[in-house]
Amino acid sequence: MHFRPFPLRALVPLWALLALAVHAQTPGPRFALVIGNSDYRHAERLPNTGNDAEDIAGALAALGYEVDLRLNSDLPAMTRAIGGWVRRLSADRNSEGFFWYAGHGIQAGGENYLLPVDIEAEDEAAIVYGSYPLGRLLLSLEQTAKNKLNLVILDACRDNPFKNLSGGSRGLSRGFVTVEHPPQDIFIMFSTAPGAVAQDGTGSRNSPFTEAFLRYIDSAEILPVMAGLVTRETMRLTGGRQRPYQNGSIVSELYYTLGPARRTPADQASAPLAAAGTARAAAELPTELPHEDPWENPAMAAIPGGTFAMGSDGMEPDRAPFQEFRHQVKISPFLLGVRELTVGEFRRFVEETGYRTAAEEAGGAFAYNEGTGQWDFRPDTDWRRPGFAQDGDHPAVNLSWLDAVRYCNWLSGKEGLQAAYTISGEDVRWDRSAPGYRLPTEAEWEYACRAGTDTPFFTGQRLSTAQANYNGNFPYNNGNRGLFRKGTTAAASFPANPWGLYDMHGNVWEWCWDSYGLYYKAGEEPALVTDPAGPSPDGPSPDGPDSAEPGALRINRGGGWASPAKFLRSAARSADYPETAGGSLGFRLARNN
């Protein structure tokens, strides 16, 4: 079998866009306020929050923070502590602030409230006037402290402690709401997603979120990557039931780290990324991969239906004009994996079935040649030996399109679902009504990647290597150079897009169902296409086929760890032969909703 990489990636022209300027600054004093409220007088007691606060305070002190630890504070004590902390930050505009709250938290009327231990909620008004509003804290940091950088971490979304109010108060709800338009240079991390409930960690010393945070607090990872690691570890500890959430905007310190390194942007661009469970340099091909895998089940996100403009705007830098015609597409609701398929998941498939991948049958796969920037066929390379270090929670690579559809059918059978595909050799037919696992269509993939955005990336006009894993030597549109990690990072190491999907930009190229072709023939632009699935074997068609023409090029999307940033755009397209396996080719699962 002869593997031929399709050169579509090389056809896209290069343009330029001003990127975010980041200036190295001398680290300033670090002040932390840690509040742990456990012994509530009129609400459910939280046994672990005191432990959480004490352990976080100790870890921060070891990292050079001057720490103020407050346990079981009433409202006046919380107000005084926060006010004093803000004043200390305001005394030195180069200072760095860290705020940690563990305890009950609740939302009322669209505002988030931190609950003191003396709160007695007779009605919703008592919560509003008897608690400390998060918005007040953020406003104080923005207008009074005016310091360089602040981190606000909230392990506070336990279940509604006031059950008697849940039915009669329309504005009262468990969990927190998203902070709309957070101030600049304030990074906010919630222990769980908006409206969801965080676990307290019954039977353990710490809550799952705190346990995960403590594991990575002293790493030298840049903050967004460190937060991604905490998110992934929290999901592992809770079996995927609790997913932390981040928002905020760090402008002045794009490469900020909590750990002792505290590297400047110049340091970060020239040094390899430090360990803490992400990409590591490999001196030789690994002979065996670890067997641990934090993802026990495929975590799927419900993608809402809707209509979007597929393709790129005519003014978008680096677009491929003939490949990315913008047109209206309607997508039905479906399910999509929150992350790319991991090594651990694929290993279970192989161990249960004895399956041999296309790369194993061919005696090798395509590997990245850093010297030439090209992908060369390398013998003895496959999903077990990708050419760089991986753990079980990294995305599986060196998987062909045919490997992907066979995995989908196997997993469907495991879960008692009707298989989506009928496979005979290289002939693959898709039953669109089947509930089993499948690959997303190209249109579904782009719709989910955009998550309601229409910019080159779901992050906006820019994408940094703090937001995705790609070859930072080739930034988007003449932006600032970043890291080149030279391999995959663990799944969900970077912030998710607005629909909760990780690594839609970068890490690995992801196979889609579609055969490659133009979206439509010149002069025949349809007014609206519903759930397209690629061109028919007889030529471009907006309707798309239910069968795959053997040997036809198959679409892959999203860019990979070795890709220049321009190939990570939401609209960027690539294609390879269905038997092609490479060190940056993987996939994520989809299902009908």
Across 72-100, average pLDDT: 93
> Is this prediction's pTM over 0.75?
no
Q: How confident is the model at residue 408 (pLDDT cuts 50, 70, 90)?
A: very high
Looking from the CA of 190 toward its CB, the CA atoms found within 13 Å total: 28
What is the C-alpha separation between 555 and 401, in angstroms, rounded? 9
**CATH class of the domain comprising 30-265:** alpha beta
> Residue 27's pLDDT is what?
65
Query: What are the helix and strand counts (H, E) for the chain?
Result: 11, 25
> Residue 192's pLDDT is what?
82
- Domain residue extents for the chain: 30-265, 291-592
For residue 557, what are the CA distances in angstroms to 38, 422, 530? 47, 24, 20
pLDDT tens-digit map of 443-465: 999 999 999 999 999 999 999 99
Lowest average pLDDT, out of 5-14, 63-72, 300-309, 316-325, goes to 5-14
Across 542-551, average pLDDT: 59
| CATH (one of 3.90.1580.10, 3.40.50.880, 3.40.630.10, 3.20.20.10) for 291-592 | 3.90.1580.10
pLDDT tens-digit map of 304-340: 999 999 999 989 999 988 889 899 999 999 999 999 9
- 577's tokens: 């032969």
Burial of 528 (0-12, 13-18, 19+ CB in 10 A): exposed
Q: Strands 529-530 and 327-331, how do they pair?
A: parallel
Q: In what order do the strands lie in the sheet with 105-108?
A: 132-133, 111-114, 105-108, 172-173
Q: Strands 66-71 and 30-36, how do they pair?
A: parallel
* Better pLDDT: 163 or 555: 555
The CA-CA-CA angle for residues 454, 458, 464, to 5°, reads 130
Q: State which of 23-27, 437-441, 520-524 shows the largest mean pLDDT.
A: 437-441
> Residue 489's pLDDT is what?
93
Counted residue by residue, the chain has a size of: 593
Residue with tokens 């918005």, as numbered in its chain:
135
For the chain, give the percent of residues with pLDDT over 70: 77
pLDDT above 80: residue 428 = yes
Convert 133-166 to b/e letters by CB count within 10 Å (16 or more is b).
Answer: ebeebbebbeeebebbbbbbbbbbbbebbbeebe
